[in-house]
């Protein structure tokens, strides 16, 4: 290793560790379910985005195995050569049905969706109005497009309207887009989509919603856009296939012309091998499950409400979450890391979330109950939270 690189890495890694900003990655020794095995210990898992428990669903596992037997372990090529299997076509038809749009396109990850879709439509002659708490993949997609990025205060509709007016009346931009998460994953609050749509209509803005943490969770499982009944008002609906869906990948849903454009101009679609057939088959079946029944969605919300009420009663600061996502906001980064470590030692796996994922001074443990948790598990977790919280002075 060069001396320059060695010095850079040593200095900066030591700096992160001294500030409590270095994240240790723990390999999970088995399936990522309501309970997990880490370092030989069985723990109640409150860190997973496996909202509906579908990542370990026996029926989906068998469907994936059957698809591998028929199609192999990989698609073999990019979609535009010969990597588009009939499985991919069926998946995208099902995703369009799921989101209430004319068409959909799948990608290898939700991150890829934002890198692909934003830069395929926006360029240096355009502007993007972006919520200050938008996900890192949105930020990177905006940067890649080279459009002017105009942040607006989180869920502040007055600020959005003022900046939309200024951008559109300036004459500097060919197109202006407004981008927001549907559900903000660190706080659990929901975007004010009706107000955003109203402003978009007033100023002819392109509307873009990344519903990674809303699909399967809000709108009886159909997502945040469906929750507000705005399927015909949102130009881009983005989602992941790795959270509530339980597998891997992402998608964009919208008008057929939009999807046709992305198929010929979005670089991750053009230059990355297609999703593997076993994954695609399992995803399609998982989406159908969510369409057919709200049972898992209802259980998720029941567990989320139960944990949220329990933590609030104990005196934890859980912010203003409107979804099952339940942060315990601690503030100090080192204390947050210590809190997470003690939870682990007592039997709960809940990772600390610190800068740069959240602003400095707002360190938290993000709790994510799923449809797979039992009340007994949640009661055990709450007892551990009470013990550790009082021990470290986080609660009285």
pLDDT digits over 133-170, tens only? 999 999 999 999 999 999 999 999 999 999 999 999 99
Q: Give the pLDDT band (50/70/90) at residue 267.
A: very high
In a domain, 5, yes or no: no
Q: What is the CATH number of the domain that holds 173?
A: 3.40.640.10
- On the question of pLDDT at 24 being above 90, the answer is no
Which residue is listed with tokens 């994936």?
Answer: 64
- Give the residue from 292, 322, 339 where a domain finishes: 292
User: Which residue is catalytic, options 94, 213, 297, 308?
Assistant: 213
Catalytic: which of 243, 297, 351, 373? 243
Query: Distance between CA atoms of 231 and 245, rounded to whole angstroms?
Result: 20
Strand 236-240 to 103-107 pairing: unpaired
In a domain? residue 188: yes
245 and 228 in a common domain: yes
Integer angstrom CA distances of residue 209 from 77, 81, 99, 216, 356? 29, 30, 12, 15, 22
Domain span at residue 247 reads 58-292
The last residue of one of the domains, among 269, 292, 315, is 292
11 located within any domain? no
Asked whether residue 355 carries a pLDDT value surpassing 90, the answer given is no
Q: Look at residue 251 and tell me whether its pLDDT is greater than 90.
A: yes
The mean predicted confidence, pLDDT, of the chain is 96
Regarding whether 286 and 220 lie in a shared domain, the answer is yes
Residues 318, 260 share a domain:
no
Nearest to 126 by CA among 171, 181, 180: 171
Model confidence pLDDT, tens digit, residues 83-94: 999 999 999 999
Please indicate whether residue 373 is annotated as part of the active site: no
Give this prediction's pTM.
0.93
Confidence class of residue 358 from pLDDT cuts 50, 70 and 90?
confident
CA terminus-to-terminus distance, the chain: 50
Beta bridge partners of 239: 251
Distance of CA 391 to the CA centre of its chain: 32
| pLDDT value for 285 | 98
Residues 70, 140, single domain; the answer is yes
Residues 322 and 183 in one domain: no
| 135 tagged catalytic | no
Flag whether 140 is in a domain: yes
In this structure, are 280 and 360 located in the same domain? no
Q: Which two tokens stand for residue 5?
A: 């690189």
Residue 348 backbone zone (phi > 0: left; psi -120 to 50: alpha; other: beta) = beta
* Whether 93 and 223 share a structural domain: yes
Predicted pLDDT at 19: 84
Cβ partners under 8 Å of residue 319, min gap 6: 187, 188, 189, 327, 329, 364
Are residues 276 and 322 both part of a single domain? no
Same domain, 125 and 224: yes
Task: Please determine, for residue 356, whether its predicted confidence score (pLDDT) is greater than 90.
Answer: no
Q: At 299, which CATH number?
A: 3.90.1150.10
Give the residue-averaged pLDDT of 367-392.
97
On whether both 103 and 237 belong to a single domain, the answer is: yes
Q: Is residue 4 part of a domain?
A: no
pLDDT at residue 248 above 90? yes
Q: Are residues 175 and 264 in the same domain?
A: yes
In a domain, 142, yes or no: yes
**Same domain as 233, residue 252:** yes
Q: Report pLDDT for 23.
A: 79
Q: Is the pLDDT of residue 59 over 90?
A: yes
With respect to residue 244, please indicate whether it lies within any of the assigned structural domains.
yes
pLDDT digits (tens, 9 = 90+) for 275-305: 999 999 999 999 999 999 999 999 999 999 9
Q: Is residue 15 part of a domain?
A: no
> Per the structure, how many domains does the chain have?
2
Band (21; pLDDT cuts 50, 70, 90) = confident
Q: Which residues contact 326 (CB under 8 A, 6 or more apart)?
A: 188, 304, 307, 308, 311, 318, 366, 367, 368, 369
Q: Which of 254, 275, 292 is the last residue of a domain?
A: 292
Instruction: Identify whether 243 is a catalytic site residue.
Output: yes
Given the residues 47, 185, 352, 372, the one annotated as active site: 185
How confident is the model over 176-229, as pLDDT tens digits?
Answer: 999 999 999 888 999 999 999 999 999 999 999 999 999 999 999 999 999 999
């Amino acid at each position: 290793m060069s001396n320059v690189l060695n010095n850079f890495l040593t200095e900066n890694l030591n700096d992160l560790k001294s500030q409590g900003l270095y994240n240790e990655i723990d390999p999970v020794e088995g399936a990522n379910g309501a309970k997990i095995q880490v370092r030989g210990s069985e723990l109640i898992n409150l860190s997973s985005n496996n909202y509906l428990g579908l990542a370990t669903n026996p029926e989906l596992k068998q469907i994936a195995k059957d698809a591998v037997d028929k199609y192999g372990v990989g698609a073999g090529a990019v979609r535009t050569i010969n990597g588009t299997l009939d499985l991919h076509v069926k998946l995208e038809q099902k995703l369009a049905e799921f989101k209430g749009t004319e068409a959909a396109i799948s990608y290898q990850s939700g991150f890829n969706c934002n890198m692909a879709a934003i830069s395929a439509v926006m360029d240096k002659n355009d502007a993007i109005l972006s919520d200050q708490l938008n996900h890192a993949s949105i930020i990177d997609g905006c940067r890649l497009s080279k459009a002017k990025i105009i942040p607006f205060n989180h869920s502040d509709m007055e600020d959005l309207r003022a900046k939309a007016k200024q951008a559109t009346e300036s004459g500097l931009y060919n197109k202006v887009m407004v981008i927001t998460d549907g559900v903000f994953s660190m706080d659990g609050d929901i975007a004010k989509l009706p107000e955003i749509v109203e402003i978009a209509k007033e100023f002819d803005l392109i509307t873009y919603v990344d519903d990674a943490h809303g699909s399967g969770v809000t709108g009886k499982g159909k997502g945040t856009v469906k929750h507000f009944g705005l399927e015909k008002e949102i130009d881009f609906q983005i989602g992941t296939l790795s959270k509530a869906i339980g597998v891997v990948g992402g998608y964009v849903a919208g008008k057929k012309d939009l999807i046709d454009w992305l198929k010929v101009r979005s670089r991750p679609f053009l230059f990355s091998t297609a999703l593997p057939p076993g994954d695609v088959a399992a995803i399609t079946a998982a989406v159908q499950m969510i369409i057919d029944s709200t049972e898992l969605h209802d259980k998720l919300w029941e567990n989320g409400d139960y944990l949220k009420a329990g933590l609030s009663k104990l005196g934890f600061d859980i912010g203003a979450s409107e979804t099952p996502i339940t942060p315990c906001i601690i503030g100090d980064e080192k204390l947050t890391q210590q809190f997470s470590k003690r939870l682990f030692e007592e039997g709960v796996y809940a990772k600390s979330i610190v800068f740069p994922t959240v602003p400095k001074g707002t360190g938290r443990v993000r709790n994510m109950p799923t449809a797979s948790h039992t009340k007994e598990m949640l009661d055990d977790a709450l007892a551990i939270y009470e013990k550790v919280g009082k021990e470290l002075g986080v609660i009285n």
